[in-house]
Amino acid sequence: MNWAMLWKVVLIFTLSGYSLLVIIVIFGGAGNIVDMLRDLRKPPDQD
Protein backbone atom coordinates (compact mmCIF):
# COMPACT_ATOMS: atom_id res chain seq x y z
CA MET A 1 0.00 0.00 0.00
CA ASN A 2 1.33 3.43 -0.94
CA TRP A 3 0.86 5.30 2.34
CA ALA A 4 2.51 8.51 1.09
CA MET A 5 0.00 8.76 -1.77
CA LEU A 6 -2.90 8.07 0.59
CA TRP A 7 -1.85 10.82 3.01
CA LYS A 8 -1.33 13.21 0.08
CA VAL A 9 -4.92 12.63 -1.09
CA VAL A 10 -6.21 12.99 2.48
CA LEU A 11 -4.38 16.29 2.91
CA ILE A 12 -5.63 17.76 -0.36
CA PHE A 13 -9.19 16.63 0.39
CA THR A 14 -9.03 18.10 3.90
CA LEU A 15 -7.72 21.51 2.86
CA SER A 16 -10.12 21.92 -0.06
CA GLY A 17 -13.17 20.38 1.64
CA TYR A 18 -12.72 22.41 4.78
CA SER A 19 -12.27 25.65 2.82
CA LEU A 20 -15.61 25.01 1.15
CA LEU A 21 -17.33 24.17 4.44
CA VAL A 22 -16.03 27.35 6.06
CA ILE A 23 -17.49 29.51 3.30
CA ILE A 24 -20.88 27.77 3.52
CA VAL A 25 -21.03 27.98 7.31
CA ILE A 26 -20.02 31.66 7.49
CA PHE A 27 -22.92 32.71 5.27
CA GLY A 28 -25.44 30.22 6.68
CA GLY A 29 -24.41 30.77 10.30
CA ALA A 30 -24.89 34.55 10.25
CA GLY A 31 -28.55 34.10 9.32
CA ASN A 32 -28.98 31.40 11.97
CA ILE A 33 -27.66 33.73 14.71
CA VAL A 34 -30.29 36.35 13.92
CA ASP A 35 -33.00 33.65 14.10
CA MET A 36 -31.64 32.28 17.38
CA LEU A 37 -31.66 35.65 19.14
CA ARG A 38 -35.20 36.28 17.85
CA ASP A 39 -36.33 32.88 19.22
CA LEU A 40 -34.80 33.60 22.62
CA ARG A 41 -36.73 36.86 22.90
CA LYS A 42 -40.03 34.93 22.71
CA PRO A 43 -41.80 34.07 26.00
CA PRO A 44 -40.35 30.78 27.42
CA ASP A 45 -43.51 28.68 26.95
CA GLN A 46 -44.09 29.62 23.32
CA ASP A 47 -41.82 26.88 21.90
Partner 1 sequence: MDVFATNFRTLDWVIVCVYICIPVVIGIIVKKYIRQLSDFILAGRSLKLFIAIATLTGTELGLVTVMYNAELGFKHGLSAFHVGIIETFCILAIGLTGFIVYKLRQLRIMTIPEFYEMRFGRNVRIVGGIILALGGILNMGLFLQAGARFMMGVTGYSNPAGLKLFMSAMLIMVLVYTVLGGMVSVVLNDFMQFVVLSIGMLIGSMFAISKVGWANLFKAPPMVDSASWFNPISEGSGFGSLYVIFMVILTFSAGALWQSGTLRALSAKTPKVAKQLYAWSSVSYLARRVIPMLWGVCAFIFISQSPKLLAAFQGPDALNSQFGMPIFIAKVLPSGFLGLMAAGMFAAFMSTHDSYLLSWSSVITQDIVAPLKKDNLSDKSRLLITRICIVAIGIFLLIWGLWFEAPVSLWNYMAVTGTIYLAGAFTVVTAGLYWKKASKTGAKIALYAGLLAILGIGPWTTGENVPFYLSDKFIGVMTFLIAFLGMILGSLIFPDKTKPKEVKR
Instruction: With beta carbons less than 8 A apart as the criterion, state whether 39 and 47 touch.
Output: yes
Distances (CA, A) of 47 to 10, 33, 41: 43, 17, 11
Distance separating the N- and C-terminal Cα atoms of the chain:
54
CB of 26 to partner 1, least distance (A): 6
Of residues 7 through 46, those in contact with partner 1 by CB under 8 A are: 7-8, 10-11, 13-15, 17-19, 21-22, 24-29, 31-33, 35-37, 39-41, 44
Residues that bind partner 1 (CB under 8 A): 1, 3-4, 7-8, 10-11, 13-15, 17-19, 21-22, 24-29, 31-33, 35-37, 39-41, 44, 47
